[in-house]
Amino acid sequence: MELPKRLGWLKSGRFLRFLSAFTGLVILAAIIYNAAVVDRLPPTYVIRVSSTAPGGRALTLTAIDIDFSKDVNRDTAEQAFSLSPNVPHAFHWQGLNKLIVTPSAKLPLSTVFHVHMAAGVEDKAGNTQGGTGDMTFTTVDAPSVTAVSPLPGAQSVPVESPIQITFDRLMDPQKVIAGLRVEPSFSYQVSWKEAVLTLTPSLPLASGTEYKVTIGDPAVDTDGSRLPDYTTSFRTLDIGLRVTTRVPAADVAGVSIHSQIAVVFDGPIDPASVDGAIRLTPPVSGSTKVVSLPDDRNPPAGPTATPGATPTGPGANVLVFTPDNPLAAHTTYSVTMSSAVRGTNGQAAPQQAWTFITGEPTLNALNQIAFLTDRGGVTNVWLMNPDGTNPRQVTWELARVSGFDVSGDGSTIAYGSGGVVKKMSIGGDGLQTLTAGTNLEYAPTFTPDGTGLVVGRRDGTGADLGYWRIPMITGTDPKQVTTDGAPNLGSTSVTGDGLTGKPGLSAWESRAAFSQDGSTMLVVRGSDSAAMLVDMTGAAPPRTLSIVGDSQPVWVQSDAAFYVVGTADGGATWLYWRVTADGVTTSIGPAVSDIDTAGQTAGQTAGQAIALIVRAGDGSIHLAYSARAGGTLTPLTNDPAFSEMSPSFRPDGEMIVFGRVRSQDPTLSAGIWIVKPDGTGLTNLTLDGTFPRWLP
């Protein structure tokens, strides 16, 4: 076929060459487009475990992460995954290119796992991974201690040395501390830096002493894996005269402005070496002397009725600085004790330097929480706000305060220390010693009208003189209300915050309650813990009941009866009891030690709210609540690591303050806590302290 003449150029060689070149370019462009735009490559991936310990082993709560190079179809990836040995697991996607496989339970320790990705993972373009992928990982062994300082078995360790324990991974701080034991015990501060636990002694350790540190149950790592029991030991350096206690303690805040400054040594001091030995900054004038602390364990000597300490004797081991005037409130004081102090054998005492911060005098203690604590170096009474703020020292004895009571108007406190009972204003003014001569007195309790104080009394030889009522207005003409039952001697033998390791209040605490008109007293006797009804008018003799208890009774005006916790069958069964003023006793329900009651509140339909301590099936002791006596008990706490004690209602009944101890070491305080009657609002107020009392 012949083209028209005008189209003849289409047959020209030039056009044909152009057409050939153009066609080649089109084909090349199609090839480049197909290669650059159309996805023909299958997905690739990387398998790894999400959580590893130092050394690379997988933690038992690890997940398995699979990172794909591109978005993939979920079903194909999940079907390709397998784990051997297999454990139940769940899939979670982060976008479409990261698969997270989470085991449904904690993986077993020391176990080798194999992860396999089969062929068939498909991307969004339809490309399928034809190859397989594998990864093997091993879970960690049980947590362990990798290093300790001082080294195990170390000798001549400085008495100020901190103890550092290094673990192979991060640990649960609370559970480790709960499982920590030191023998012999000493006060220390705890700090953590990643996997390193440091125990810094609050005071120098005892010289020439073998110390053992043990960590056991319930110590776990952050995955909850249990630490096998670990023990290390070391021996401190033998030195000369050693400091055992400093008062006030180092770095404590809220110290009473009336406080003395004292250093207690482990041996007698040469009085000739102490002149000017203690200095304060800012400067404070005062006097320095050597004394012995009261000790009510060794009659017939008995204590002397002087505040704080007994006069110098041949074995006096306490260096005391007494300021001429009260210290300034809210002020930091630095204390320096010179190294010139010598023991009677000529040995030198190490120089001491520390600081403390004073608080402020308290004018009234109403709606405050009173408690005992040795945070100042010696167990004394402290107050704090209901939320735990502004803790401040009330008493400033050098021998531990063994029991106290506060008058109903919150203005006066009476307390026992070293077998001597004293009273003063809550702010520290008007300190007066009530115990006369060589008598030993304990467990002071105010009468409802505040005009009298009941105490348990023994004479200087330790003979039981029963309970006495001391008039608060005159302070003279005391009246004996029982002939026996006074607490036994030995209040100074208790250490720390005053915990004895047993449920309930000690015999030296206030364990008496009065009817509203003050005519009847129910007291849990200090000598044998038997409950005794006492007619305070003297019209009838005291009646010892069949109940043996260890709590402070409470009077319930709306029920016209006392409530007390005790046993009537030699300890086989512990209950709380209703006791009328004429001695009729009725068992109500289970309870172990302490009890408190509150008036009717908005959440109650009738009756008297009760907070008490009950024993759980695991043996731990916990706080429970009932809106009325004999009603259903609601557990308010259940942590087996702790046991509870000393509940006390807020005046409106809508909050309860209580003390806690470690279940495995009931001589160690776990602080003071509050909780609402419905179990909510559990809050820790302090890390130390015992026997809290919410004052009206």
Q: Are residues 609 and 654 in the same domain?
A: yes
Q: Residue 96 above 90 pLDDT?
A: no
Q: Are residues 585 and 686 in the same domain?
A: yes
Q: Are residues 591 and 524 in the same domain?
A: yes
3-state secondary structure of 580: strand
Q: 232: domain range?
A: 145-236
Q: Are residues 519 and 547 in the same domain?
A: yes
Q: Are residues 64 and 188 in the same domain?
A: no
- Please state which of the ranges 39-48, 224-233, 399-408 shows the lowest mean pLDDT: 39-48
Whole-angstrom distance, CA of residue 323 vs CA of residue 304? 21
Whole-angstrom distance, CA of residue 420 vs CA of residue 434? 8
* Domain termination residue (choose one: 236, 268, 283): 236
More confident call, 307 vs 384 = 384
| Residue 347, domain member (yes or no) | no
Q: Are residues 561 and 656 in the same domain?
A: yes
What's the CATH number where 73 sits? Answer: 2.60.40.1220
List the one residue out of 549, 550, 532 whose CA is nearest residue 541: 532
- Please state which of the ranges 337-351, 363-377, 619-633 shows the lowest mean pLDDT: 337-351
Return the pLDDT at 19.
65
For 575-593, what is each residue's pLDDT tens digit? 999 999 999 999 999 999 8
Q: Are residues 647 and 662 in the same domain?
A: yes
| Residue 398, domain member (yes or no) | no
What's the CATH number where 220 sits? Answer: 2.60.40.3710
* Domain termination residue (choose one: 138, 154, 169): 138
| Residue 87, domain member (yes or no) | yes
Catalogue the E-assigned strands of 584-688. Answer: 585-590, 595-598, 609-615, 621-626, 634-635, 642-649, 656-662, 665-675, 683-686
List the one residue out of 219, 220, 173 whose CA is nearest residue 198: 173
* Domain termination residue (choose one: 190, 221, 236): 236
| Residue 584, domain member (yes or no) | yes
Q: Residue 242 above 70 pLDDT?
A: yes
For 599-641, what is each residue's pLDDT tens digit? 644 344 344 899 999 988 777 899 999 998 888 999 999 999 8
Q: Are residues 574 and 664 in the same domain?
A: yes
Q: Is the pTM of this model over 0.75?
A: no
Q: Are residues 124 and 156 in the same domain?
A: no
Q: Residue 312 above 90 pLDDT?
A: no
Return the pLDDT at 551.
87
List the one residue out of 308, 393, 386 whose CA is nearest residue 356: 393
Q: Which amino acid is at 423?
A: K
Return the pLDDT at 26.
59
Query: Per-residue pLDDT averaged across 17-22, rounded?
Result: 68
Name the helix (H) or strand (E) containing 174. Answer: helix 173-178
Whole-angstrom distance, CA of residue 403 vs CA of residue 441? 11
How many folded domains does the chain comprise? Answer: 3
Q: Are residues 132 and 174 in the same domain?
A: no
Return the pLDDT at 503.
83
Q: Are residues 523 and 646 in the same domain?
A: yes
